[in-house]
Amino acid sequence: HSALTQPRSVSGSPGQSVTVSCTGTSSDVGANNFVSWYQQYPGNAPKLIIYDVTKRPSGVPDRFSGSKSGNTASLTISGLQSEDEADYYCCSYGGTYTVIFGGGTTLTVL
Amino acid sequence: EGQLVESGGGLVQPGGSLRLSCLASGFSYSTYWMAWVRQAPGKGLEWVTNIKQDGSEKYYVDSVQGRFTISRDNAKNSLHLQMNGLRADDTAVYYCARSRVSGLKVKPNWFDIWGQGTLVTVSS
C-alpha cells in the first residue's frame, strides 16, 4: 500500500472553515469506515481527533468533523482558530491488520 | 487516561541493532493491541508494526519485515521493538501507541494514546 494522498498545505482565516482531503483506494479508505485523523504540533506527539470516519473522542471540539465519499475521506475544521495551526494526518486500515497514514497536511491560519 | 513512555533510542551505525521499550500505565494494558509508529525528520507518520493483546499475532510494514521484532510483556506492562540490520532510512522518532479496534471483525486501526517518542539515528 502506498501512503494516502493529502494536500501538502491548506490555509484559512480565523472563523472560516477548511477541509483537508485524504485520498486512498478501494482497498483501504474505500473498503470500510476505518479512517482516523490526527493533529500534530511541531515537536509533539500526534493527537487523535477523529476515528471511524466521523467519531470524535471526548474533549475534541465539535468544530472538527469527518466524512467520507468513495475512496476519499475529509476532515473539516469550522470556526477556524489560531490554535488549529498544526499538521494533520489521515490514517486508514490497510487490510491484513496493517495501517496506512497520509503524507500530512500543514494548516496555516492566516 | 493512560500514559506511554518510550526509551532506548540513540545513535547506531548502519547494520547495527537497537531495542526500544515502552512502559504503559493508567490502563489495562493486557487488553489492548499496541503499535509502533515512526516519523522520519521532517516527514510524515508511518505505521511500523502492531501486536495483539496476548502477543499471538504480529504484523509489520514491508520495509521492516524480517529486521524488526515487536514483543510485549503483559506482566510488566511493557512493549518492545527489537531493531536489527538498521539502515539510514530507519532514522526517525519512534512512537509507542495504544491501538484501538473498529468493526465486528475487530481490526486495529486507530491510536488514542501516544508516547512522547524516542529518536533513533542510524549513521556512521
According to DSSP, the β-strands at B78-83 and B18-25 are antiparallel
- Are B4 and B24 spatial neighbours (Cβ–Cβ below 8 Å)? yes
Mean pLDDT over A34-47 rounds to 97
Q: Show which residues on chain A lie within 8 Å of chain B, measured between beta carbons.
A: 3, 32-34, 36, 38, 40, 45-48, 51-52, 57, 89, 91-93, 96-104
C-alpha cell read off for A105: 497536511
Mean pLDDT over B22-43 rounds to 97
Which has the closest alpha carbon to A49: A7, A10, A9, A20?
A20
Record: contact B102-A3, CB cut-off 8 A: no
Could you read off the pLDDT of B81-123 as tens digits, one per residue?
999 999 999 999 999 999 999 877 778 899 999 999 999 999 9
Mean pLDDT over A28-51 rounds to 95
A contacts of B111 (beta carbons < 8 Å): 36, 38, 46, 48, 91
- Are B96 and B114 spatial neighbours (Cβ–Cβ below 8 Å)? yes
C-alpha cell read off for A22: 485524504
Residue positions counted in chain A: 110
Give the pLDDT band of residue B1 (cuts 50, 70, 90). Answer: confident
Record: contact B112-A51, CB cut-off 8 A: yes
According to DSSP, the β-strands at A98-101 and B78-83 are unpaired
Could you read off the pLDDT of B45-66 as tens digits, one per residue?
999 999 999 999 999 999 999 9
Which range (A29-33, A75-79, A101-105) has the least confidence? A29-33
A contacts of B37 (beta carbons < 8 Å): 46, 101
Mean pLDDT over A64-76 rounds to 97
